[in-house]
Amino acid sequence: MTDNFTTLLNFLPQLWEGIQTTLILTIAGSIGTIIIAVILGLAMTSPHAWLRIPARIIVEFFRGTSLLVQLFWLFYVLPLLGVDLDPLMCGIGALALNYGAYSAEVVRSSIKTVNPGQWEAAIALSLSPTRRMIRVIFPQAWALMIPSLATLLIQLLKGTAVVFFITLSDLTDKIQQLRQSTGDTVFAFTVGLVIYFVMAWLIQELMNLLERQATRRLGRRRPNSRSDRRDARRDAREELRLDRLKSRAAANDGASKLGPAGQGGGL
């Protein structure tokens, strides 16, 4: 076992290279995913058929074909058509298109889920369609779409492993190398699991943060949230303080009423 750890230590620089490749693919892929998702998602909610129909076709196409085949297509077919992309760009492109298509559906359905009364109020105030979307509808839809986007981005992270097939050496590839050099399959793949899990957990934490921020903007919080309990404690303290003040005032009042009478009695 100690042998395994020395091998792992010596292997760290290479492992870090693999992690970097996976991180670049995940981060750039996620950014691409969200851009594509927002553009296609908005287009699918458009009242204009010339926007809606092409967007729907693109989404169905990229959802309905395999990520691996899309990747091969970008890597092996595009050069035949005279477009040469380096493997990393192919990887980012395929991930963004594939997960972007899935996420576009999330964006579309979240926008459609926003209370119709919000659209009506925006129309009643004569807000332009752009203003209506940017200021009223999208911020509310954003809070709704974050949980589903988080799931898809974690899937994207795990999906990055397919770039192994187009000569890129990512985390999965490095784990394979670690397995060969240690000869310990259990050890190598367990290290892989842990690293992927940590990265997925980081994405989840980031998305939780975004979700909290988005719901706070809507003035909604989870029931019995930390800030709710803090407010409740503060209110309780304040009430207690006012009660004390009141009883003290009453006591003083009683004393002053008694005062003259007592004096009178004294005289």
Partner 1 sequence: MPPTENTPATSSTPSTSATPAIEFKDVEKSFGKTTVLKDLNFSVAPGERVTLIGPSGSGKTTILRLVMTLEELTGGYIFVDGKPLTHTEKNGKRVELPSKTTRAMTTRIGMVFQQFNLFPNMTVLENIIEAPIHVLGRSKSDAVAEAKSLLEKVGLAEKADEHPSRLSGGQQQRVAIARALAMSPEILLLDEVTSALDPELVGDVLGVLRDIAETTDITMLLVTHEMQFARDVSHRVMMFDGGQVLEEGPPDQIFNNPQHERTKSFLSSVL
Report the interface residues with partner 1, using CB under 8 A: 115, 117-118, 120-128, 131, 135-136, 139-140, 217-220
Contact 101, 63 (CB under 8 A): yes
Nearest distance in Å: CB 127, partner 1: 6
> Which of 193, 218 has the CB closer to partner 1?
218
> Which of 115, 252 has the CB closer to partner 1?
115
Nearest distance in Å: CB 118, partner 1: 6
Nearest distance in Å: CB 131, partner 1: 5
Ramachandran region of residue 223, left (φ > 0), alpha (ψ -120 to 50) or beta? beta
> Which of 108, 132 has the CB closer to partner 1?
132
Nearest distance in Å: CB 110, partner 1: 14
Determine the distance from the C-alpha atom of residue 265 to the mean position of all C-alpha atoms in its chain, rounded to a whole number.
78
> Which of 63, 221 has the CB closer to partner 1?
221
Two tokens, residue 92? 């980012």
Contact 120, 57 (CB under 8 A): no
> Which of 128, 224 has the CB closer to partner 1?
128
16-21, Cβ contacts within 8 angstroms, sequence gap of 24 or more: 17/169, 17/174, 18/169, 18/170, 18/171, 18/172, 18/173, 18/174, 18/175, 19/171, 19/174, 19/195, 21/88, 21/163, 21/168, 21/169, 21/170, 21/171
Nearest distance in Å: CB 221, partner 1: 9
